Amino acid sequence: MQCPFCKAVDTRVIDSRLFEDGTQVRRRRECPACDARFTTFERAQLQMPYVLKRSGTPEPFDEDKLRRGIEHAIFKRPVPPEKVDHAIENVMRRLRAVNEREVPSMRIGEWVMDELRDLDHVAYVRFASIYRAFSDVNAFREEINRLEQLPTQEARRSQMLLIENDPIAAAAIAAATAKRMAAEHDKPAKTTKRVK
Ligand SMILES: [Zn+2]
């Protein structure tokens, strides 16, 4: 590392030790050219990537927003708060681990779904229905199909009833279906291009 005083190209480390509970390395350096001594600190860079919204605009990651999304999905469901904290931690760990400057919000949504799938089925369907409403309505179909594959008729029936009787999930599914139908309606009719 360059000497900040005389700009000599190299300096040597004369002491190196852990600092701040081992999360940093503190080094004393000495410049062989001018004998100046100085200290450097090294720590892992754990910056959160930006979230790339559907519109393509990046925005800073917002932990509160993530929490609100999850809490909305588990509203009045028997999910203990520590499980919510754990789910948020898991999502944030995956976010840090991607090691990219920007992560599409859709991908974060998929991670939230991974967490909710294990936590509470109704919460999962609520979240999935709201989250996938714009891009992938077929995901519901897949989820319903998946439920229909459940081993016993009893398990199948109880899961389907849970979802059908849940007002939030029902409203979200209805909204998603309406949106998809509107989108299909707005699509210009297919015209065959004449080739000359
Ligand atoms: Zn120097």
Q: What is the pLDDT of residue 134?
A: 40
CA of 45 to the centre of ligand 1 (A): 28
CA of 30 to the centre of ligand 1 (A): 8
CA of 26 to the centre of ligand 1 (A): 19
CA of 87 to the centre of ligand 1 (A): 50
Please report, for residues 83, 116, 121, 150, 168, the alpha-carbon distance to residue 90 in angstroms, rounded to integers and kept in the order given: 10, 11, 18, 27, 25
66 with 82, same domain?
yes
More confident residue, 181 or 80: 80
78 with 39, same domain?
no
CA of 9 to the centre of ligand 1 (A): 9
pTM: 0.55
CA of 6 to the centre of ligand 1 (A): 4
> 3-17, 45-59, 114-128: which has the highest mean pLDDT?
3-17
33 with 59, same domain?
no
**SS3 state of residue 97:** helix
66 with 110, same domain?
yes
Per-residue pLDDT, averaged over 95-121, amounts to 88
Q: What is the pLDDT of residue 98?
A: 86
Report the percentage of the chain scoring pLDDT > 70.
65
Q: Considering the domain boundaries, does residue 4 fall inside one?
A: no
CA of 19 to the centre of ligand 1 (A): 25
Q: Could you read off the pLDDT of 11-56 as tens digits, one per residue?
A: 999 999 998 777 789 999 999 999 999 999 887 766 788 999 888 8
Q: Could you read off the pLDDT of 133-183 as tens digits, one per residue?
A: 544 545 566 666 666 666 666 666 666 666 666 666 666 666 666 666 676
For the cut 80, the answer to whether the pLDDT of residue 71 exceeds it is: yes
CA of 29 to the centre of ligand 1 (A): 10
Q: Considering the domain boundaries, does residue 159 fall inside one?
A: yes
90 with 19, same domain?
no
How deeply is 27 buried, as exposed, middle or buried, from its count of CB atoms within 10 A (0-12, 13-18, 19+)? middle
Please report, for residues 56, 76, 89, 166, the alpha-carbon distance to residue 176 in angstroms, rounded to integers and kept in the order given: 21, 22, 29, 15
Please report, for residues 39, 110, 164, the alpha-carbon distance to residue 128 in angstroms, rounded to integers and kept in the order given: 51, 9, 15
